């Protein structure tokens, strides 16, 4: 269990440092566009 947590923390650190958000940024932009009818400012 200890190794699983260590690997998970390392994986999250790599994902954050490389800027990989798994499409969350695009999904938030699409949601804003649908709800307001205009694209989100980037």
**1-42 pLDDT tens trace:** 999 999 999 988 888 777 776 666 677 777 777 777 665 555
Q: What is the pLDDT of residue 12?
A: 86
- Structurally, the chain folds into a number of domains equal to 1
Q: What is the pLDDT of residue 42?
A: 53
Place of tokens 């694209």: 39
Q: What is the pLDDT of residue 5?
A: 93
Residue 41 in any domain: the answer is no
Give the predicted TM-score (pTM) of the model: 0.45
Q: What are phi and psi of 20, to 5 degrees?
A: -80, 120
Calpha distance 12→20 (Å, rounded): 10
Would you state the structure tokens that stand for residue 40, as one six-digit string? 């989100």
Question: Domain containing 32: what range?
Answer: 2-36
Calpha distance 36→42 (Å, rounded): 15
Residue 29 in any domain: the answer is yes
Q: What is the pLDDT of residue 40?
A: 55
């Amino acid at each position: 269990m200890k190794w699983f947590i260590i690997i998970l923390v390392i994986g999250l650190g790599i994902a954050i440092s490389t800027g990989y958000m798994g499409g969350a940024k695009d999904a938030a932009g699409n949601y804003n566009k649908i709800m307001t009818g205009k694209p989100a400012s980037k």
